[in-house]
Structure 1
Amino acid sequence: MKKLAEYFPTLIGPEREEQFTSEVRQYHLCQNLSPSDEVQLDHWWNNVMKEIEIPTLSSVVKACSSIFCAPAVEQSFSMMNHIITA
């Protein structure tokens, strides 16, 4: 998880790297946070964010969960053509 800082330099600049690393450690040390196949990933992370205070890691998680690819990308561009004209 520490490598995520490299992929989100606008969210985690040099001034927040230490805080991010600390939050990742805090997340790893929290024993009662184990993912489950029965809970959707976004709901699980929401519970994690309520359980422990991890503002920088939360920003990265939100950014990651908002990324979509494959057919969804093409579909969204097609939908935008109906909303916004050239």
Structure 2
Amino acid sequence: MTWMAWTMPTAIFFLVIAALLILMTILAIRYPETPRVGVLRIETTRGDRLFISLLGSAFICLAWLAAFGAPLWGGLILCLVYAAAVFRWV
């Protein structure tokens, strides 16, 4: 697999995404939910909010890299705050 950039951070990233998907599947099976309307005025489920938070986090990290460069610890903190806000209010 040397043709890919499989470093430890890359592996951790994909493991976290897989764990999130597994967790969302388990939550959907154990605690089915009805869509809710938040500040965006669209119906969203947990999966929708996860997608919105992952997409927004990608843009936050790109903006952080453009503004400050590496390392991304500050961007990661912003992403966690953003994801918490999305799950709470969207």
TM range (shorter): 0.3 to 0.5
More helix by share: 2
TM-score normalised by length of structure 2? 0.33
TM-score normalised by length of structure 1? 0.34
Query: Which protein has the larger Cα radius of gyration, Structure 1 or Structure 2?
Result: 1
More strand by share: 2
